[in-house]
Amino acid sequence: MFLVAKRYVKDSVLAEDVMQDAFIKAFKNLHSYKAEVSFGAWLKRIVINQSIDELKKKKLELVTINEEVVTIIEEDNWEVEEAISTKMIIETINNLKEKYRVVLTLYLLEGYDHSEISEILNIAEVTSRTHLMRGKKQLQEQLKTISYA
């Protein structure tokens, strides 16, 4: 759970605080656990939400984009060169702007869809898609420089 929190807040000390707050919240709400999902998945969701709440406290700026102006072409091509490891990809994601990093992390690493991301971050779905598309583009550009180095 520490690693989950650290993926979002990027600071070990803050991730420990987030994890501790999430455990306290889980303990206080243990009666609401319904075993519809595994306990680990339920706890992970609390840790993710607590991490995002912490980012919101830091006034994470996720600007809503006017849906009429933006047309998004979704591309599902996430292929990278074989020489690039998963660790390199995650490190590169962690170096992106926070708004892109959070959406990419929720989408790629946690498996949330755009409607869930928009609900979690309190942004429009089109904003989630746009942040994912722009984050993906930046990620690919940075990975190209790594593969040529």
AA letter at 143: L
Q: How far is CA 137 from the centre of its chain?
A: 16
Query: pLDDT (tens digit, 9 = 90+) per residue, 53-89?
Result: 888 777 644 444 444 444 444 555 556 566 677 788 8
Domain with residue 112: its CATH number is 1.10.10.10
Domain with residue 45: its CATH number is 1.10.1740.10
Query: pLDDT (tens digit, 9 = 90+) per residue, 16-49?
Result: 999 999 999 999 998 888 888 888 888 998 999 8
pLDDT for residue 98 is more than 70: yes
**What's residue 71's pLDDT?**
43
Examine the fold and report which residue of 37, 59, 81 is the final residue of a domain before the chain moves on.
Answer: 59
**What's residue 144's pLDDT?**
80
Closest by alpha carbon to 41, among 110, 107, 115?
110
Confidence class for position 123, pLDDT limits 50, 70, 90: confident
What distance, in Å, lies between the first and last C-alpha atoms of the chain?
34
Mean pLDDT over the full length of the chain: 81
Examine the fold and report which residue of 40, 59, 78 is the final residue of a domain before the chain moves on.
Answer: 59
CA gap 74, 70 in Å, rounded:
12
Same domain, 98 and 54: no
